[in-house]
Every structure is written in C-alpha cells, then in structure tokens.
C-alpha cells in the first residue's frame, strides 16, 4: 500500500482552526489578561537566585501585572542590587533584598517562590517552600537527582501547591498547536524523536583553592550540598560542569529539547538508556561531558536520541519528530512539516516568549488547575536527563522500569538515584 502524504490544504485548514481556538483558550493567557488585577489580587513572589536566569524571571514577574516581586534573594550581595535595579521601572513596589530564602518563606504575604539558584538547590528549596504554603516556579532541571524529583511531586500534592518547571516551550502557543497536530495524526504514528544542543563553550581551566570573596556567602551557596572548599573556577556558572552541584549540558539545556521529544512521542518512562561521549575538547576541571549522545528506548516501540556538543555550534536543526507519514521539525522560530520524501508540506513561523509560561503559572495559582509544566511532567523529563548522566557515569546501558523509571538490576547505577546531603539539609516531605 502506498504511503499517504499530508495534504497541504488540509493541514493549513486544521492548523488555522486550531490556532483560532487556542487564541481564546483560558490556559494561554497573555500579559494583558492580567492588567485588571488590583494590588490586593496580585500574586506576590520572591526570586531566589539572580546571577543568571533569575534576573530575567524577576523582570517577567514584575511586568506580568498579575504579580509583583516582593523579594530579591541571592547569596551574592552584588546580584541583589543588580536585579533590583533591573525591575525598579517595571513595578511600583521596591523589592526587599535578602541573602537567605527562608526569610521569604516566613512572610505570609508571599504567594510563590521562584527558584533560580544552582541545580543542587532546586528540590530542597521547592520542598521547603511547599511546606511553607508557597507555590513554586522552579527552573530546569527541576532536580539534582531522580529521588529529589519524586519528592517534589510528593510535596506538591501533599501541600496542594502549584509547582511549575521552567521549560517555557510547554506554554508557547505554536508548540502547543504543533503537539495537537501530532495527536491528530498529521504525520501518522510518531515513533522516533531526535534533538540536541550546540554551543562554543571555552575551557574552565584548572581551578585553585582560594579565599571566599567578601561579597559571597559560600556556606549558604552550598546549602544542601556537602561542604567543599571554595575554588576560583566554580562560582557563578561553571558549577554546571561538576557532578556535586550540576547536571552537565543535558540537564542545563538538553532538558528543554528532551521534554519536547517526550511530549511529541507521548511517553513517560523508558526501558533502556545508553550513553556515549566524554570530555573531548579541553583538558580541564570539567567533570561532565562536552560531547554527549544519549539514546532512550520505550516499550511502545519509540526512541529518543539527544546529542549535546558544548564546543561546536554546527548542525543544530531543532527537535525532529518522525512519523509514519512524515516528519515535524520544531525550532524556536516555528514548525515545519515534511512528507516521507522530505518535501516541505507546511510551515508556520512563530516565536515564543517567557510571558506565556509566567501567565500560565499565575493563572494556575488562581484557578487551582495544574500548569502546562506541572512538576510531575517536569520530573519525568528531568529524569531522562539524570538517567542519561547515570548511563554515562557507569559506562553501560541501564535498564529501567517503564512504570516509574527506576533502575533495574544495577546497584552501582541505582546508587546514583540519590545523593548525600549536608547534615540538616536532607529534603523530606
């Protein structure tokens, strides 16, 4: 039987109809939809960690009109001033600067905590915030270990708190539309997804033990992580490349694309995970791979391949979803559908914006609905990254339970399901 190709007119008509419906969907809230919120109705947030992504999030929440930033929190006192200056023109309230995020949790007027501190802080801060009655917007990856992700889901459910992970593409209208098209069979049964990340990162060198700078509370920076001496090539970004604090490139950026792959395939937990790669470009202190290829196999005859190249930008084509009747390619500039002969059938140019994800979080707090990237889904996508790292660190393919992702018959790999904590910082629900 000849393969049936996608009819361009049918696709465009269906896409137009869907887009029209999405424009009025209550879950796709624009920033203007919050403009009528009075000060007493605004969601009050505190921002934890502003040396990187946190400042951008602070601006987004300050501009959302449905929320206002009450606290800027950072263990680097220079960052507090910088983030405060960044939002003073976006809201009337001047936020209070604090070093310890627990000050935010103690304030009953605060509705939500935004966690943008390093990865090893994501789960412990989220769990404590839920217990304190706060909703949480937590940056990706949502956890530092698989067990932490499970505890975050438990905390969200136990305390009835909205917890959303910062994989903002989950709220982009054109991505939602593309996923609806996949569910409608636009390329038939989807059976394979591949994606990756490219960058031109430089060497982090060989760090030296040094005195802690006077602007940094390094003890609080380490928080739940067992104590290590301060080295001059870790803070504020290179911690990503050490297993003690970070999750490598796959956790840093790969989680975005792996999440799209998992969403497009409609899968949860894999049955097998393999990894190849290493630290090939530079001879320095970095522990996580700069060249990394991970494969995930699922029981429903679907697979995901992710390739991370930290030191070469060539070949980044987006997230590619292969189906029996064609292929869909997603990039941050839109989506394109190809027929089985690789001929373009339809293209939609579009751009996403953080405000969709912020508005979804704010709206979910008000409505009680689960957000687009509820922590359970965030955990599933983050878990794939953890499993890829575990396969890399053990040097072998690992088998997992397709019901929950737990590692099967491999005690060395299973030992990496959790970690040791600084005494007194163990996360509990």
What would the pLDDT profile of 326-357 be if each residue is shown by its tens digit?
999 999 999 999 999 999 999 999 999 999 99
Domain 170-352+375-417: state its class: alpha beta
Say if CB 349 and CB 141 are below 8 A apart.
no
Question: What pLDDT score was predicted for residue 65?
Answer: 82
Residue 35: pLDDT band (50, 70, 90) is very low
What would the pLDDT profile of 232-251 be if each residue is shown by its tens digit?
999 999 999 999 999 999 99
| Span 410-429, average pLDDT | 97
Exposure string (b/e) for 112-136, b if CB count within 10 Å is 16 or more?
Answer: bbbbbbbbbbbbbbbbbbbebebbb
**What is the reported pTM?**
0.91
Question: What pLDDT score was predicted for residue 286?
Answer: 97
Residue 39: pLDDT band (50, 70, 90) is low
How many Å apart are CA 97 and CA 10, to the nearest integer? 55
User: Where are the chain's structural domains?
Assistant: 27-169, 170-352+375-417
The yes or no reply on domain 27-169 and CATH 3.30.950.10 is no
How many Å apart are CA 353 and CA 169, to the nearest integer? 8
Question: What pLDDT score was predicted for residue 37?
Answer: 55
């Amino acid at each position: 039987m000849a393969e049936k190709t996608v009819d361009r007119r049918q696709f465009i008509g269906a896409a137009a109809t869907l887009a029209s419906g999405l424009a009025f969907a209550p879950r796709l809230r624009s920033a203007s939809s919050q403009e009528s919120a009075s000060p007493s109705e605004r969601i009050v947030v505190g921002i934890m960690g502003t040396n990187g992504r946190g400042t951008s999030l602070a601006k987004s929440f300050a501009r959302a009109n449905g929320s206002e930033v009450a606290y800027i929190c950072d263990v680097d006192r220079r960052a507090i001033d910088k983030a405060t200056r960044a939002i003073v023109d976006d809201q009337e309230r001047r936020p209070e600067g604090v070093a310890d995020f627990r000050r935010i949790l103690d304030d009953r007027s605060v509705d939500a905590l935004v966690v943008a501190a390093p990865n090893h802080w994501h789960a412990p801060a989220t769990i404590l915030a839920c217990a304190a009655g706060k909703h949480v917007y937590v940056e990706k990856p949502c956890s530092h270990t698989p067990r932490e992700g499970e505890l975050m889901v438990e905390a969200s459910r136990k305390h009835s708190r909205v917890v959303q992970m910062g994989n903002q593409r989950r709220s982009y209208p054109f991505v939602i539309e593309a996923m609806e098209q996949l569910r409608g069979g636009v390329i038939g049964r989807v059976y394979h997804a591949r994606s990756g990340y490219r960058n031109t990162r430089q060497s982090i060198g060989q760090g030296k033990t040094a005195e802690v700078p006077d602007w940094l509370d390094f003890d609080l920076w380490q928080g739940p992580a067992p104590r290590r001496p301060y080295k001059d090539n870790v803070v504020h970004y290179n911690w990503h490349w050490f297993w003690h604090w970070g999750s490598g490139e796959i956790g840093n950026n790969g989680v975005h694309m792996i999440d799209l792959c998992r969403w497009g395939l409609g899968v949860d937990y894999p049955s097998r995970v393999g990894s190849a790669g290493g630290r090939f470009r530079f001879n320095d202190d970095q522990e996580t791979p700069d060249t990394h290829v991970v494969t995930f196999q699922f029981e429903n005859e679907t697979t995901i391949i992710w390739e991370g190249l930290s030191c070469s930008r060539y070949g980044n084509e987006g997230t590619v979803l292969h189906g029996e009747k064609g292929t869909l390619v997603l990039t941050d500039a839109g989506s394109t559908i190809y027929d089985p002969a690789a001929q373009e059938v339809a293209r939609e140019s579009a751009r996403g914006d953080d405000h969709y994800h912020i508005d979804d979080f704010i709206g979910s707090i008000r409505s009680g609905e689960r957000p687009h990237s509820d922590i359970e889904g965030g955990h599933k996508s983050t878990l794939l990254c953890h499993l890829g790292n575990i396969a890399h660190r053990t040097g072998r393919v690992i088998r997992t339970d397709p019901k929950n992702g737990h590692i099967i018959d491999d005690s060395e790999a299973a030992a990496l399901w959790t970690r040791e904590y600084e005494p007194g910082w163990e996360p509990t629900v």
